[in-house]
Amino acid sequence: MAREICLRQLAVRPRTRAELATALARRGISEETAAQVLDRYDEVGIIDDAAFARAWVSSRHAGRGLARRALANELRQRGVDGDTASEALDELDETTEAETARALVERKLRTVRGEPDAVFRRLVGMLARKGYPAGVAIRAVKDAIAAQSAEAAEFAEQIDADALADAEGEIDR
């Protein structure tokens, strides 16, 4: 019974050991039986939290543009331990994260309308919700706005990204 539950769960999408343990507990499978089945699946490579974490980071960063902080939170919610999550997140470097932030802003900038300051706030907010640090978000938006038009460039020149990021860091604490 426990094996069938695990295989059905894994047929839908890859799962972490913690997700499978939760599914087994919900179905009334004893902890002892669940541990035996999960240990065996670990042993033969059917479940592999490290591979899951690497695939999750790659997929969610490429598909949704999520930053390391948001991805770490998602991995934690799925029961991936901190060390395994850190290893997977190390594959996503700061340069790639900054490039992704810039690409997200440029794509969104094509459709957003309004005063430069409102657009700036909206775009920084969008990146913040995706888990980007304030400094990365502010620089990406500032650069993209500056490249947009003369009026926008003038607005962008007035933005001190480092000061805003420092102030943002103070608020987060």
Residue 171 has pLDDT above 70, yes or no: no
Q: Rounded CA gap, 78 and 158, in Å?
A: 42
Residue 65 has pLDDT above 90, yes or no: yes
Domain ranges of the chain: 2-44, 49-90, 94-172
- Structure-token pair, residue 85: 């999550």
Residue 170 has pLDDT above 80, yes or no: no
Who wins on pLDDT, 92 or 161?
92
Q: Rounded CA gap, 33 and 38, in Å?
A: 9
Q: CA angle at residue 25 from 21 to 29, to 5 degrees? A: 105
Q: Write out pLDDT tens, residues 96-133.
A: 999 999 999 999 988 888 887 888 899 999 999 999 99
| Neighbouring residues of 68: CB distance < 8 A, sequence distance ≥ 6 | 89, 92, 97, 131
Q: Write out pLDDT tens, residues 130-167.
A: 999 998 998 899 888 888 765 666 666 666 666 556 65
Residue 55 banded pLDDT, cuts 50, 70, 90: very high
Q: Rounded CA gap, 164 and 69, in Å?
A: 19
Q: What is the chain's alpha carbon radius of gyration, rounded to the nearest angstrom?
A: 21
pLDDT score, position 116: 79
| Neighbouring residues of 154: CB distance < 8 A, sequence distance ≥ 6 | none
pTM: 0.79
**What's the mean pLDDT in 54-67?**
93
pLDDT score, position 146: 80
Terminal CA-CA length for the chain: 48
pLDDT score, position 173: 43
Q: Write out pLDDT tens, residues 4-30.
A: 999 999 999 899 999 999 999 999 999
Residue 3 has pLDDT above 70, yes or no: yes
